[in-house]
Structure 1
Amino acid sequence: MKVRRRSYKKDGEVQNFWPSFTDMISTIALILFFLMLLAYIQNIVTGSNLEYAKKQLMDTQKRLEESNAEISRAEKRLRLLKDNLDEVKAEVERGQIALKLSEEQIEEQKEIIAESNKELGKLRSTLQGIALFRVNVLEKVKNSVEEELGKTNSDGEQLVSIADNGNIVINESLVFDYNSYKIKSEGKELLDQLAVAFENVLEDEDIRKNIDAINIQGHADKMGDPEYNRELSAKRATTVVNYLMKTNNTLEEKYGRYFMASGFSNLRPITSGNTEEERAKNRRIEISLILKDSNVRDVINKYLEDSKEIFGE
């Protein structure tokens, strides 16, 4: 009875061993399966990562190529900029040279202009002197008459005056009666002194050489017939010249060639008023000094010659 039990136990022990081994093998197989699955998945993931990495690498290479191209273009632009910079530097240097030359030319021009202004000032002074010359001469004549006869007559009328145009003006009523060209006795006294004054003035050679003519002008008002007024004003002027020559033979012999007569009728009025007083101002004897144009031309020509030396031909 005991032997059988032992046999039974041994058989039971064998039967319990194999199920445990089977479970172990299954577990190992399952682990291997999972390992293989994991490896497969890993290969898939790794493959995807590799493709992604390859794509990234290609993109990076493409961007690198683009960057290299951009660098090449930038280098080309840089070379162009450098070339342009060199040209600009050269242009600046040329400009600086030109500027220096211009500054030197400007200084030369300033000197020329200063010299020209100096000469022009001399010309202006000379021409102003010529313009004042005729006024000064007639002022001398006027002052000479006033020294002998005074400035006014017994009625308070001014004997001679200097008009705005620089001419000597003699009131017609002091020399002629209304509508007449016969000299009054009071007028003869005035003209006597006028003849002496002109002789004294013309004794100066510096004055004579600048005078072309002494014009005795007759002027009338606008009343009456214009043709008659022209004749009357011309006759009055001629009568004055004739009297000056007659009353002073020396004046006629030495300087008669300077005197002339002209009649202007009412064409050169002093005033446009219609009152008797204003019309009386227009009835007058006026004495003007005509200067030699050649003297003025000589002054201008001299200035032009001097200017050639300053500015060059």
Structure 2
Amino acid sequence: MKIRRRHFRQSSEAQNFWPSFTDMISTIALILFFLMLLAYIQNIITGNNLEYAKQQLMDTEKKLETSNMEIKHAENNLRLLEDRLEDIKAEVKQGEIALQISEQKIEEQKDIIAASNRELGNLRAELRSIAVLRLDVLKKVKESIEDELGKTDDTGKPLVTIGENGNIRLSNSIVFDPDSTTIKTEGKKVLNELAKSFEAVLNDKNVRKYIDAIEIQGHTDKRPYLEPNRKLSTDRATAVVDYLMKSNPTLANRYGEYFAATGYSEYRPVATGNTEEAWAQNRRIEIAVILKDPNIQNLIDNYLKDSLDVFEQ
């Protein structure tokens, strides 16, 4: 009885042991499988991470390379800016020097302008005196005639007037009859005094040096005459010059070269309209003192020359 019980226990234990061992092996195998699976998955994940990391590294290297290039470019730009800054500093320095020179030149120019203004004022005064000289000569001639013959003729008309152009005007009715070139007796008296007055004026060398010519001008009205108006005005002016020279031989011998005759016909009227009064004003003899343009021009040339000499210094 006892032996049977023992044998029975051994069999039961042997049967129980093998399933447990098999389960254990299966469990271990399963664990190993899972471990291998995990390892595999981890390798895959790690591989992917590694590829991603490599890609990231490559991208970072490219960015770094780009950044390095940008840094180099920035450094080049910085060097260019530094060079430009040095150039600007040099230009500013030159500008400061130029400004100082300009300020000095401005002061010099102010002095030059002030001197030029003084010179110009002197020139204007001298030119004004020359222009006034012309009028003074005519006034002296007019006053000399009036002192000898009076201011008006028998009809109350002025013997001599000075026009707006600064010329002496002799009424044609005093000197000539209508459509005639023969000087009237009354006209001869006026011309005799005129010849004496011009001799006295031309005797003054300070006056004479500015006079280029004394022009006797003949003027008619616009009505037709037996003689054409141009010829009539020219012949009358010539008759006056001839009489002045004949009346005063000293004037002819010393200063005959100054006198000229010109006919202007009806083309320079002093009055408009078709009335007897307007025609009478236009029929006239005018005496113009023409100043020497070269003398006046020399004054201007000398002024400009002096001014240019100052600017060239």
CA shift, 1:228, in A, is: 5.2
Distance 2:242 2:25 in 1: 172
- Which 5+ residue runs of structure 1 have no aligned equivalent? none
CA shift, 1:5, in A, is: 6.7
Work out the number of aligned pairs and report it: 312
1:281 corresponds to which residue? 281
Kept in 1, the 8 Å contact 2:241–2:261? The answer is no
Distance 2:241 2:108 in 1: 57
Kept in 1, the 8 Å contact 2:199–2:251? The answer is no
CA shift, 1:236, in A, is: 3.5
CA separation of 1:301 and 1:3: change in aligned 2, threshold 3 A: closer
Q: Which moved more, 1:260-269 or 1:11-20?
A: 11-20
Deviations 1:130-161 (A, max 9, x none): 12221222123334445666654454433322
Aligned-pair identity (%): 58
RMSD: 3.8
Classify the secondary structure of the residue corresponding to 2:157: coil
Distance 1:40 1:218 in 2: 137
Distance 2:6 2:255 in 1: 196
CA shift, 1:8, in A, is: 5.4
Distance 1:105 1:311 in 2: 11
Deviations 1:39-77 (A, max 9, x none): 222222222212222222222223222322332233233
Distance 2:97 2:190 in 1: 76
TM-score (structure 1 length as normaliser): 0.77
Q: Which moved more, 1:74-83 or 1:300-309?
A: 300-309
Q: Which moved more, 1:150-159 or 1:275-284?
A: 150-159
Distance 2:39 2:231 in 1: 146
2:215 corresponds to which residue? 215
Matched, 1:33 2:58: no
2:122 corresponds to which residue? 122
Alignment-mate amino acid for residue 269 of structure 1: R
2:97 corresponds to which residue? 97
1:46 corresponds to which residue? 46
TM-score (structure 2 length as normaliser): 0.77
Deviations 1:239-263 (A, max 9, x none): 545655677x697489664763524
Distance 1:78 1:226 in 2: 100
Kept in 1, the 8 Å contact 2:202–2:255? The answer is no
Kept in 2, the 8 Å contact 1:221–1:265? The answer is no
2:171 corresponds to which residue? 171
Alignment-mate amino acid for residue 264 of structure 1: G
Distance 1:119 1:65 in 2: 77
CA separation of 1:13 and 1:243: change in aligned 2, threshold 3 A: closer
CA shift, 1:185, in A, is: 4.7
CA shift, 1:288, in A, is: 1.3
Alignment-mate amino acid for residue 33 of structure 1: F
CA shift, 1:114, in A, is: 3.4
Matched, 1:266 2:247: no
Distance 1:48 1:256 in 2: 128
Kept in 1, the 8 Å contact 2:142–2:168? The answer is yes
Kept in 2, the 8 Å contact 1:230–1:263? The answer is no
User: Structure 2 matches for 1:49-88, cutoff 5 A?
Assistant: 49-88=49-88
Distance 2:5 2:298 in 1: 174
Distance 2:175 2:58 in 1: 126
Deviations 1:8-54 (A, max 9, x none): 57765664555445434433432332223222222222222122222
Distance 1:69 1:311 in 2: 59
Distance 1:88 1:266 in 2: 76
